[in-house]
Structure 1
Amino acid sequence: MIKRILTGLVAIVGASTITGAAQAATSSYTTANVNLRAGPGTSYPVVVTVPNGTPITTYGCLDGYNWCDVSWGTERGWMSASYIQITYQGQPRIITPAIAPAVGLTVVVYNRAYWDRYYYGRPWYRHWDRYYRPPPHAGKPPRAVQPLPPRPPKANPRPPQVVQPIQPRPPRATQPKPRRPQAVQPIQPRPPKAAQPSQPRRPQAVQPVQPRQPRATQPRMGQKRAIQPRQGQGQRRNRRG
C-alpha cells in the first residue's frame, strides 16, 4: 500500500515536471535515421526509429545538451542531440549548449516517473533497474580539466649521433690454385696366350653294316598263291613213269 502511494507521488511530481517542459516545446527535425529510445543513452531499449528529415518536437535536454526529450506522433522518448536540427536566426543549426537556451530549450531531468508515464505496459517496462544508468555529472558541475604544463627542455641535450654508413666489403681476390700434374701410367699390352697342343682324337670302332634280311611277303588279296609241290608227289610220278 505504501509502495503504491509513493509511486503515485512520484508520478505526480514527474507529470508536473513534464508539464513545465511541454511549455518550452520547440519545433525541430532529424538529420538522419535515428533511434528514439526510452532513456538518455544507448543502453535503453529502442521505442521507434525516426526517418531522416522528419519533423519532431523537442521539450528539453539534459545538462550538457547531449540527449534531448522529444516526441514523434504519439511516441515519446530521448534522442541524441547531434541528430536534432533547429532553426536559429533563419539558419538550420544542430543543438549545442550555446544555441539551446537561445531557442527556449531548458534543462530537464530524467527519472522513474518519466519511465512509468510513457512506457507502462511495454515488454521491457519491468526491467527499469536493468536499463537505468544515471546521466553523467547528474547534479554535479563538470570538473574543469587542467591541461598539463609542457615539460621543460632537458639541459645539455646530447648531440645527435652521426651514423656512419656501412661500407660494403670489397670482394676478395681469389687466385686460381695450380693443379698438380698427375702421373699417367702407360697401358701395358697383354701378353698373348700360349697355344696349347691339340690332343689326338681316339679312333672310333666302326661297326660293319649288316645286310637286311628280306621280308617274307604275304600275298595280297586277289593274287593267286603259287602252289608248291608237296613232298613225295614227284617221287610218285617218277615211280609211275
Structure 2
Amino acid sequence: MLKRLLTGLVALVGASAFAGAVQAATPSYTTANVNLRAGPGTVYPVLLTVPNGTAITTHGCLDGYNWCDVSWGTERGWMSASYIHITYQGQRRILTPALAPILGISVVVYDRRYWDRYYYGRPWYRNWDRYYRPPPQVAKPPRAVQPILPDRPRAQPPRPDRPRAVQPLPRANPPRAVQPLPRADRPRAVQPLPRATPPRANQPRAAQPLPRANQPRATQPRAGQPKAVQPRMGRASGQRRSG
C-alpha cells in the first residue's frame, strides 16, 4: 500500500513538472541519428536512438547549452546540443548559446529528482551513484578589468541657512589679587636723612692750668756731709736780721 502511494506521488510530481516544462517547450529537429540518454553525458544509459530529421521538443538546457532536455513521443531524456536544429527567422540552425536565450530556451538543472521522476522502475534505476556525473562547468570568459577611477566629489545640495545659536559671551575673568613682589624685588624703604647737627656757639673754653714748671728739687745732703746753713730772712725783704 505504501509503495503504491509513493509511486502515485512520484507520478503526480512528474506530471506537474512536465506540464510546467511543456509551457517552455521549443520545437526542434535532429541533425543525425542521435542517442537519447538518461542524463547529460555519454556515461548514462541509452533510452533509444532518434532518427535524423525527427521533430523533437526541447524543454531546456544546462548552463552552457551543451546538453539539452528533450522529449520524443513518450520518452524524456538528454541530447547533445550539437545535434539539435532550431528554426530561427525561417531557417534551421544549430542550437547555440547565443540563439537559445532569444528563442526562450531556459537553463535547467539535472539532479536526482529528474532521475526519480522519469526512470523509476527501469532496470538500471538503482545505479544512480554509478552513472551520475556532475555536469562540467563551462568556463566563462573573464570580464574586462575596469580601471579604478578616483571618486568624484558629489555635489552637495545647498542647505537652507539655519539661524545659528547665539553663543554666550565669555565670562570676564575677575582681576587677580596683586601678589607681593619677592623680597629681592621689593623697593627698599627710604631712610630718612640724618639730621644736620647745628653748629655750636663758640664758648670760651675753661682755662686749663698751665703745667707746673720743673722746680729744682732740694738737694738732699748726702750722708757724712754737713748740711748747708740757710740764711734767715728778716721781715723786710732783702734785709738781714741784725744781731
Q: How many residues align?
A: 144
* Unaligned segments of structure 1, at least 5 residues: 147-241
**Kindly tell me: are residues 109 and 18 of structure 1, through their superposed partners in 2, closer, same or farther at Cα, counting changes over 3 Å?**
farther
SS in 2 for 1:126: helix
Deviation of 1:43 (Å): 0.7
* Aligned counterparts of 2:112 and 2:73: Cα–Cα separation in 1: 22
**Kindly tell me: are residues 82 and 53 of structure 1, through their superposed partners in 2, closer, same or farther at Cα, counting changes over 3 Å?**
same
* Aligned counterparts of 2:35 and 2:142: Cα–Cα separation in 1: 32
Report if the CA contact (8 A) 2:10-2:116 is conserved: no
What's the counterpart of residue 91 of structure 2? 91
**Kindly tell me: are residues 111 and 14 of structure 1, through their superposed partners in 2, closer, same or farther at Cα, counting changes over 3 Å?**
farther
* Aligned counterparts of 1:105 and 1:73: Cα–Cα separation in 2: 20
* CA deviation vs aligned residue, 1:71-90 (integer Å, no higher than 9, x gap): 11111100000000010011
What's the counterpart of residue 36 of structure 2? 36
Report if the CA contact (8 A) 2:13-2:117 is conserved: no
Deviation of 1:19 (Å): 3.7
**Kindly tell me: are residues 111 and 7 of structure 1, through their superposed partners in 2, closer, same or farther at Cα, counting changes over 3 Å?**
farther
Report if the CA contact (8 A) 1:58-1:68 is conserved: yes
What's the counterpart of residue 105 of structure 1? 105
Deviation of 1:106 (Å): 0.5
* CA deviation vs aligned residue, 1:158-208 (integer Å, no higher than 9, x gap): xxxxxxxxxxxxxxxxxxxxxxxxxxxxxxxxxxxxxxxxxxxxxxxxxxx
Deviation of 1:18 (Å): 4.3
* Unaligned segments of structure 2, at least 5 residues: 144-243
| Structure 1 vs Structure 2 CA RMSD | 3.1
* Aligned counterparts of 1:12 and 1:107: Cα–Cα separation in 2: 23
* Aligned counterparts of 1:62 and 1:125: Cα–Cα separation in 2: 22
Deviation of 1:143 (Å): 4.9
Report if the CA contact (8 A) 1:59-1:105 is conserved: yes
Report the structure number with the largest CA radius of gyration: 2
* CA deviation vs aligned residue, 1:14-73 (integer Å, no higher than 9, x gap): 765544332110111100000000000001000000011111111110000000010111
What's the counterpart of residue 231 of structure 1? none
Deviation of 1:118 (Å): 1.1
* Aligned counterparts of 1:9 and 1:104: Cα–Cα separation in 2: 30
* Residues 164-183 of structure 1 aligned to structure 2 (within 5 Å): none
SS in 2 for 1:103: coil
Report if the CA contact (8 A) 1:15-1:113 is conserved: no
What's the counterpart of residue 135 of structure 1? 135
What's the counterpart of residue 126 of structure 1? 126
* Aligned counterparts of 1:109 and 1:41: Cα–Cα separation in 2: 14
* Residues 187-198 of structure 1 aligned to structure 2 (within 5 Å): none
Deviation of 1:127 (Å): 0.3
Deviation of 1:101 (Å): 1.1
* Aligned counterparts of 2:6 and 2:109: Cα–Cα separation in 1: 19
> Percent of aligned positions with the same letter in both sequences?
78
Report if the CA contact (8 A) 1:13-1:113 is conserved: no
Report if the CA contact (8 A) 1:33-1:52 is conserved: yes
What's the counterpart of residue 177 of structure 2? none
What's the counterpart of residue 67 of structure 1? 67
